[in-house]
Structure 1
Amino acid sequence: MKKIFILMMLFSFFGKMMSQTERYIYQTEVNPDTINLVNMKVENTFLDVKNNQSLFISESKLLKDSLTAVLKQQGVTEIKKSKKDKSEFPKLPNGKSIQPTFFDYFITKNQEDKSVNFVESIGSKQVYYQEDRKMNWDISNQISDFNNYKVQKATMTFGGRTWTAWFAPEIKISDGPYKFLGLPGLILKLEDDKGDYRFSFTKKINIEKAFSEVIKPDARRSTRINFRGDKESVRMEMVKNKDPEINFDSFNRMNQRNGGMNGGFGGQQGMNGGMPGSEVGNGQADIQMGNPQSNSAGNNASTMNFGNTNPIELSNKY
C-alpha cells in the first residue's frame, strides 16, 4: 500500500512538471525609426515552451490579452473613452498601465512538423498565415559565452535582413525568438545586420498555469502575401456589422501610425502566469504578470507613441 502511495505521488509530481510551461524571457531592443535619430526601445518578449509547442509573444500583448479575457468573462465588451476620445485600458494591480508593443501579434510553432503560424487579432477575430519559407541556417564553428551558457554562432538571411544567432546546444530546444527555429539548441541571442533588432535571453521561469494564446476555430486563414488585405477585409466586416468587440482592437492601434507598428512583412505591426480570473493582487502577481522591473519601453510617457517605421521584415521574397 505504501509503495502504491509513493508511485501515485511520483506520477502526480511528474504530471505537474509535464504540465508546466517553460518561459524563456528576452530583453528585446528595437530601433523604431531608421531615418530619424532615436533611442532604441526596450521591452520583454517571451518564448513559452510546452509539449513540443511554443508561443512567441510580447509581455505587453500577453498582459493585454489576458486582461481582455477577464473583462469578457465579466461581460465587458467595450473599452471606455478618455476625454481625448482615446480608448483607456484598465490598469494593472500595481497601478501601472499596459504599454504599447512592437510585437502586437503572437507566433505559434510546432517542433514536430516545424510549422510556424503568425497570428494577429482584429477585435475578437483572428487572421493568420503559416510561414512558407525555410530556415536555412549557416552554422559556424565559432563558440562564445553568453549568460553562463556556451553558445555557437549561426547566420541566415530572412525577411530582407541578415540575422546572427547564438544558440546553446545544451538546451535541447530547436527554437528561438520571433519565427526563428531549426538550430540544434535554443537561440539565446539574436540580432540583425543593421542593428535594428536585438533579442537577449535573460532568464527562464516555470509557470504551472500560464495564460496561452491559441488560433481560434473561426480564425481567417490567409497567406503571407495576402495577409494585409485579409486583415482589412475582416476589419471592414466588423465595422459594417457594428461589432462592439472591434473597440478592443482600437487599444492595439491607438498609438500606432498608418495602422501598424511592426510585424511580419505587410503586417500590422507579464510574465502572466495566471489564468484569466485568477488573483493578481499580491506580490507574486507582479512577478507572474511581468510588470516592468527594468528600464523598459513603458517607464515614461514619451514611449507611448513609438512611431515605428522599421518593420522586422523588410521583404517578403526571402
Structure 2
Amino acid sequence: MRNKFLIFFGLFLLTMYHGQTIRYIYQTSVNPDSINLVSLKSEKTFLDVRGNQSLFISENKLIKDSLWSANKGEEIKKEKKDISKSGIKKHPEPTFFDYYITKNIPEQKIYFYDRVLGKQIYYQEDRPVKWEITDVTELQNGYKAQKALTNFGGRIWTAWFTKDINVSDGPYKFSGLPGLIVKLEDDKGDYKFDLVKQMMIKNSFEEPIASDARQSTRVNFNGDKAALELEFSKNRRIAPGGDGGMQNFGSGGKHGGGMGGMRGGNHSGNGMSPRGMDGIDMSGPGSGMSSNSSFKNEISQNPIELK
C-alpha cells in the first residue's frame, strides 16, 4: 500500500510540474550598429518552458501584446494584474525582438511568428542547429557550465550550457544541448544573452492564430511580409473612406499559437490570451510609445541573422 501511495504521489507531482510554466529570464544586450561604435542596448527576454514546449519572447513584446491587444478595460486590468505577478514591468518600450518563437523541444521543431499590420505570418525553421561541444567548463552566471560552438544565421555563436538544469533549450532559436543555455553570445559581440533568474509562473503568453494567418517559409518570409503590406495598402485604398482595409485582417481562428497552439504540441493553452495588435496604433496617443521607425532601422542595420 505504501509503495502504491508513493507511486501515485510521484505521478501527481510530475503532472503538477508539467502543468506549470518555468520562466527563464535573460538579460539581453544588443549592438544596434555594426559599423559605428555605439553603446549596447539592453532588454530582458524570456524563455517560458512548460512540459515539452517552450516560448521565446521579449519582455517588451509580451507587455505590448498583452496590454494593448485587448479592447475591453476589464481584460486590460486583469492582464496588468497577471503581469505584475510575473515580476515584469508594466509599460513597454521598443524591442529588438518584435516577434516570438515556439519550440517542440524533443522533436526540435521551431516556429517563428510575426505580424504585419494586424495579420499573422509564421514559418517553420528549416535549418538544424549543429553544435560542437567542447571539454571546456567554467562557472557562468552562477552555474557550472560547458562550452559549445555553432555557426548559425551567418554568425558564430558560443553557448555555455549547464547539465544542472535538465532542459535542452535556450534563447532565440537555439536548443539541442544536454542542458539549459545559461550564456550565449556571437563572435562579433553584437548579441549576448545572460541567464539572470528563473521563476514559476501561473500564466504564460497565448495568442490565438487567426484562420487567415499566412504560412510562409524562411526563405520567402521577407517577401511574403512585403506582399502583405502591399495587400493591406491596396485594400485600404479600395475601401470606402480609405480605412476599411482592416476587414480582411481580423483575429480569431481555429488553432492556437504561443504555448498552446504550437505545431506538434498538445496544449490547449490556459495562460494570458492577448488577441494581438489588430487595429491598435502603438504610436498613438495614450500608448506610451512614440514612433519607432528609427528603432526599426537600427534593427535592420544589425539583425540577429545575417543570412
Would you say same fold, with TM above 0.5? Answer: yes
Shift in alpha-carbon separation, 1:9–1:129, aligned structure 2, 3 A: same
Q: Distance in 1 between matches of 2:89 and 2:30?
A: 26
**8 Å Cα contact 1:123-1:246 kept in structure 2:** no
Aligned pairs (5 A) from 1:76-91: none
**8 Å Cα contact 1:122-1:246 kept in structure 2:** no
Q: Distance in 1 between matches of 2:167 and 2:305?
A: 24
SS in 2 for 1:143: strand
Aligned residues: 250
2:194 equivalent to 1:200:
yes
Shifted more, 208-217 versus 56-65: the winner is 208-217
Match of 1:136 in 2: 130
Structure 1 residues 42-81: Cα deviation after superposition (integer angstroms, max 9, x where no partner) = 00000011120111110000111111332268799xxxxx
Shifted more, 95-104 versus 174-183: the winner is 95-104
Shifted more, 15-24 versus 192-201: the winner is 15-24
> How far apart are residue 239 of structure 1 and its match?
3.2
Higher relative contact order (CA 8 A, sep 6+): 1
Sequence identity percentage: 51
Structure 1 residues 156-187: Cα deviation after superposition (integer angstroms, max 9, x where no partner) = 11111100000011211111111011111111
**8 Å Cα contact 1:163-1:193 kept in structure 2:** yes
Residue among 229, 235, 245 paired with 1:243: 245
Q: Distance in 2 between matches of 1:231 and 1:72?
A: 29
Residue among 272, 275, 294 paired with 2:272: 275
Per the normalisation by structure 1, the TM-score is: 0.69
Residue among 300, 304, 307 paired with 1:312: 304
Per the normalisation by structure 2, the TM-score is: 0.71
Match of 1:175 in 2: 169
Match of 1:53 in 2: 53
Q: Distance in 2 between matches of 1:208 and 1:7?
A: 26
2:227 equivalent to 1:233:
yes
Q: Distance in 2 between matches of 1:174 and 1:190?
A: 14
Aligned pairs (5 A) from 1:123-162: 123-162=117-156
Q: Distance in 2 between matches of 1:45 and 1:246?
A: 32
SS in 1 for 2:70: helix
Shift in alpha-carbon separation, 1:106–1:61, aligned structure 2, 3 A: same
Question: Which consecutive unaligned segments of at least 5 residues does structure 2 have?
Answer: 1-5, 77-82, 236-243, 251-269, 275-289
Match of 1:116 in 2: 110
SS in 1 for 2:69: helix
RMSD: 3.5
Q: Distance in 1 between matches of 2:15 and 2:38?
A: 48
Structure 1 residues 249-300: Cα deviation after superposition (integer angstroms, max 9, x where no partner) = xxxxxxxxxxxxxxxxxxxxxxxx97359xxxxxxxxxxxxxxxxxxxxxxx
**8 Å Cα contact 2:138-2:145 kept in structure 1:** yes
Structure 1 residues 5-37: Cα deviation after superposition (integer angstroms, max 9, x where no partner) = x99999877654432111100000000001122
Query: Larger % of helix: which?
Result: 2
Match of 2:267 in 1: none
Q: Aligned letter for 2:190?
A: D
Question: Which consecutive unaligned segments of at least 5 residues does structure 1 have?
Answer: 1-5, 77-91, 249-272, 278-300
Q: Which runs of 4+ in 1 moved over 6 A?
A: 6-13, 72-76, 92-96, 245-248
